[in-house]
């Protein structure tokens, strides 16, 4: 019976997605980015997903189980800021959508602390995106641990909850980084669909990229820092179009079946 179920799942994946396994791929492309950046992204995606597929990187997620149906998770990096994070929260509240925010520790102060609490109080996940947004591969183990713990402790001081889900800045990991993250009890969250809102300033191109490449179980990468007004502008239409396509939105802990906090 178990073998039959596995065979049916493989058939379903093939019918929906062809030969590519969506659990081990990162999508997102646009004519708005040049050939050099497109090639760089392809190389980075291949180098990142292959160790996951081979089982060398563990306790790391790109995608949810596709058999759960048409669910997606909206995730926002580089919060908080004093402007766009609030705008994103307003939009999510309007559509009654829950999301996951990966926040940088160093900007969490004064007015920005208010938006951190607001995100948590409104039912979103407030998660760890390092303290200073470095390339982790350039750091020693104790420096990585300091980046992790300082941010989780700051978030806990505001929300009362210590986040255990971590997104490495730039998606920058190698075996040493992954070992350090796992040893210290963190689960690593990457993404399966890059909205490219960090590179594209045209909101229509962001919308087109997301809608054209969406698949069930996707973790969608977006941003909500002061540099990402185009992402804020694109968000309402992305939500509406995905809803029209029958998608439902879940937080990462719900979609992946994992603990968000200690």
Catalytic residue annotation: 77, 223
Does residue 97 sit in helix, strand or coil? Answer: coil
Backbone angles phi, psi at 188, to 5 degrees: -95, 130
Give me 55's structure tokens.
């089982």
Does residue 114 sit in helix, strand or coil? Answer: helix
| CA R_g for the chain | 18
Inter-CA distances, 180 with 35, 102, 109, Å: 34, 19, 27
Q: For residue 103, with 0-12 CB atoms within 10 Å meaning exposed, 13-18 middle and 19 or more buried, which class applies?
A: buried
Q: Give the distance, in angstroms, between the CA of residue 165 and the centroid of all CA atoms in the same chain.
A: 10
Dihedral angle over CA of 225, 60, 9, 43, nearest 10: 70
Inter-CA distances, 70 with 52, 67, 91, 102, 236, Å: 23, 9, 21, 23, 19
Inter-CA distances, 74 with 66, 156, 170, Å: 16, 22, 17
Distance (Å, rounded) from C-alpha 96 to C-alpha 249?
Answer: 9
């Amino acid at each position: 019976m178990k073998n039959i179920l596995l065979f049916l799942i493989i058939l379903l994946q093939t019918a929906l997605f062809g030969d590519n396994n969506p659990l081990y791929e990162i999508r997102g492309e646009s004519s708005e980015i040049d050939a050099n950046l497109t090639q760089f992204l392809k190389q980075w995606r291949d180098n990142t997903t292959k160790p996951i597929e081979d089982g060398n990187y563990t306790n790391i997620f790109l995608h949810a189980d596709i058999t759960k149906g048409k669910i997606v998770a909206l995730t926002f990096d580089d919060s908080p800021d004093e402007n766009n994070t609030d705008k994103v929260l307003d939009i999510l509240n309007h559509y009654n959508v829950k999301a996951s925010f990966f926040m940088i520790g160093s900007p969490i102060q004064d007015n920005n602390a208010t938006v951190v609490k607001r995100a948590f109080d409104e039912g979103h996940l407030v998660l760890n995106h390092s303290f200073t947004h470095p390339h982790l591969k350039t750091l020693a183990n104790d420096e990585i641990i300091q980046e992790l713990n300082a941010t989780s402790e700051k978030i806990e001081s505001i929300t009362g909850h210590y986040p255990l889900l971590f997104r490495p800045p730039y998606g920058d990991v190698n075996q040493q980084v992954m070992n350090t993250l796992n040893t210290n009890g963190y689960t690593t969250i990457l993404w399966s669909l890059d909205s490219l809102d960090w590179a594209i300033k045209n909101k229509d191109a962001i919308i087109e990229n997301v809608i054209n490449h969406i698949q069930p179980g996707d973790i969608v990468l977006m941003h909500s820092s002061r540099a990402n007004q185009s992402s804020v502008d694109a968000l309402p239409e992305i939500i509406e179009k995905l809803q029209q396509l029958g998608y439902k939105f879940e937080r990462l802990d719900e979609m992946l079946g994992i603990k968000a906090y200690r």
